[in-house]
Structure 1
Amino acid sequence: MKNIFQWILFVFSVVVSAQKHETTDHSQEKTCLYLIGDSTMANKPDPTNNPERGWGQMLPELLGESVHVHNHAVNGRSSRSFIAEGRWQKVLDSLKPKDYIFIQFGHNDQKRQDSSRYTNPYTQYRYNLERFVKEARSKEAFPILFSSITRRNFNENGVLIDTHGAYPLVTRMVAKDLKVPFIDLQLLTEQMEISYGVEGSKKLHLHFAPGENPHRPNGIVDNTHLSVIGATLVAQLALDELEKQHIKF
């Protein structure tokens, strides 16, 4: 009888140990998602009071606890300055097999007045995107290319006018040539802006009169960066398109 009792205790301890091990392994299997890009994607400080958000900042809430989001996007960075400042190397050193990485540049690559950020879309910009993709793949990670979100730039006739020139096209070309998943956020956000209309689309961005928002006491008219509503919608557009392409985390 004593031997039977000891055997039962032994089996129970083995089962408990296995369950603990399974739980630990499960937590280690969480998907890691890295983001590199500019201010439209970046985390913004003081989210309690700050009306501005990057669309990457909204991903943790939308994806849930099964995905670890590491947002390395930074305000004002181009593909060139992101590399020059060592930010890409830091991300690359952190990448592990089966990690995902979202890549979105272009807004600041077009800054012709800034030699530290500007890139020719057909040469240096393309080369930088190819570098991100190839080096991420060398770590057995999965890169995904995104075109820049559109700016709210309606003309006097209510027509939304592009401001990004060749950069989204080159991103698409790199994705095609290197067989990388491509999310056309420019198209998706153009459709979103147009659907909200000239006036309604202001809520997607930062439009405050003086005194209207304590975080922007002098007021602001910013048609590039996103409000909480705008950032959430853009993040959801990105995730919906990924699902259409059968990319699941």
Structure 2
Amino acid sequence: MSSRQRSLAPMVGWGQALPLFVQGAEVVNAARAGASSRSFLERGRLQWILENIAPGDLLLVSFGLIDMKPGRGRFTEPFGDFQWFLRQYVHGARDRGAHPVFVTSHERRVFDEHGNMGRPLGLYPTAMRELAMSMSVPLVDLNEWSVAWWRQAGPEGTKELFLHLAPGEHPNYPDGVADNTHLRGRGATECARYVAGEMSAKGLLTPEYFRDLDAHVPESALEFLDDRVFEQLTEARVGGRDVPAAGATW
């Protein structure tokens, strides 16, 4: 869901596209590429949010794509420390009068040779659903929605949603790219539209805060951060203690 800098276009996070469907409220996308629920908290990024969040704000929390990756500092067990870390986001927001909202991660683009779609995120969406129910946290199930869409689009159609580019198709990727995790314009925009639509349907914000939920929104409407601004925000959004700048969305 991270906002992407201009040098990575046309890679787009759905959080970057969310402002296209929200009006009269500021969307602060504090998501950090490559962050898990663990690393985002341990590197002080949740603390920065909690230092700046205000009563009545919504805190959208979406993890799982990186939590599943092995290695120290990022990996979590779905029904173990993944849920433990998610609880810290919930308690932190509620202690400040803000309202946490869980958003399950969209699925990766994984198909076998017969065109059958895989579910590599495994139990992480299920673990988030379970915790949402037990803690009475509103849930936007982007994962299940994305699975239905990816299956319908199939192995070829999903290439238009993910960062799949032929050599020479875009100057930022002269050799081409086949990325089955990160979205580009249409994929990110439609994911953001779904999240905004669910926020509206669940009454998380009143109807006047939403726009264009049923309208065509061109990819040209997406905005990319200047690389220098992106780096400045990355370094600045660490709170609580002196920690290295690395690592997710408010």
Short-chain TM bin: 0.7 to 0.9
> Tell me, what secondary structure is at the counterpart of 2:194?
helix
Aligned Cα RMSD in Å? 1.3
Equivalent-residue separation in structure 2 for 1:84 and 1:246 (angstroms): 32
**Which residue, out of 67, 74, 79, partners 1:109?**
67
Give yes or no for the alignment of 1:63 onto 2:17. Answer: no
Query: Percent of aligned positions with the same letter in both sequences?
Result: 36
Residue-by-residue CA offset, 1:110-148 (whole Å, 9 max, x unaligned): 111x20111111111110101100110010101000111
Aligned partner of 2:242 in structure 1 is none
1:189-228 paired onto structure 2 within 5 Å: 189-228=146-185
> Tell me, what secondary structure is at the counterpart of 1:236?
helix
Equivalent-residue separation in structure 1 for 2:17 and 2:202 (angstroms): 21
Equivalent-residue separation in structure 2 for 1:125 and 1:203 (angstroms): 31
Q: Structure 1: which amino acid aligns with 2:60?
A: F
> Tell me, what secondary structure is at the counterpart of 1:127?
helix
Residue-by-residue CA offset, 1:50-98 (whole Å, 9 max, x unaligned): 111000001112213x010111101100011101110010001111110
| Corresponding pairs, count | 206
Residue-by-residue CA offset, 1:141-200 (whole Å, 9 max, x unaligned): 010001110111111221211001111111001100000001111101111112222211
User: Greater relative contact order: 1 or 2 (C-alpha under 8 angstroms, separation 6 or more)?
Assistant: 2
**Which residue, out of 45, 48, 59, partners 2:5?**
45
> Tell me, what secondary structure is at the counterpart of 1:68?
coil
Aligned partner of 1:19 in structure 2 is none
Q: Which consecutive unaligned segments of at least 5 residues does structure 1 have? A: 1-40
Aligned partner of 2:227 in structure 1 is none
Structure in which a larger fraction of residues adopt strand: 1
Equivalent-residue separation in structure 1 for 2:122 and 2:147 (angstroms): 14
> Tell me, what secondary structure is at the counterpart of 1:102?
strand
Aligned partner of 2:94 in structure 1 is 137
Task: State the shift of 1:243 in Å.
Answer: 2.2
Equivalent-residue separation in structure 2 for 1:196 and 1:190 (angstroms): 10
Equivalent-residue separation in structure 2 for 1:209 and 1:152 (angstroms): 17
**Which residue, out of 131, 149, 154, partners 2:111?**
154
**Which residue, out of 178, 191, 196, partners 1:234?**
191
Equivalent-residue separation in structure 2 for 1:80 and 1:208 (angstroms): 32
TM-score between the two structures when normalised by the length of structure 1: 0.80
Aligned partner of 2:202 in structure 1 is 245
Structure in which a larger fraction of residues adopt helix: 1
Q: Which consecutive unaligned segments of at least 5 residues does structure 2 have? A: 207-250
Aligned partner of 2:85 in structure 1 is 128
> Tell me, what secondary structure is at the counterpart of 1:134?
helix
Q: Which has the larger radius of gyration?
A: 1
Deviating beyond 3 angstroms after TM superposition, the runs of 4 or more aligned structure 1 residues are none
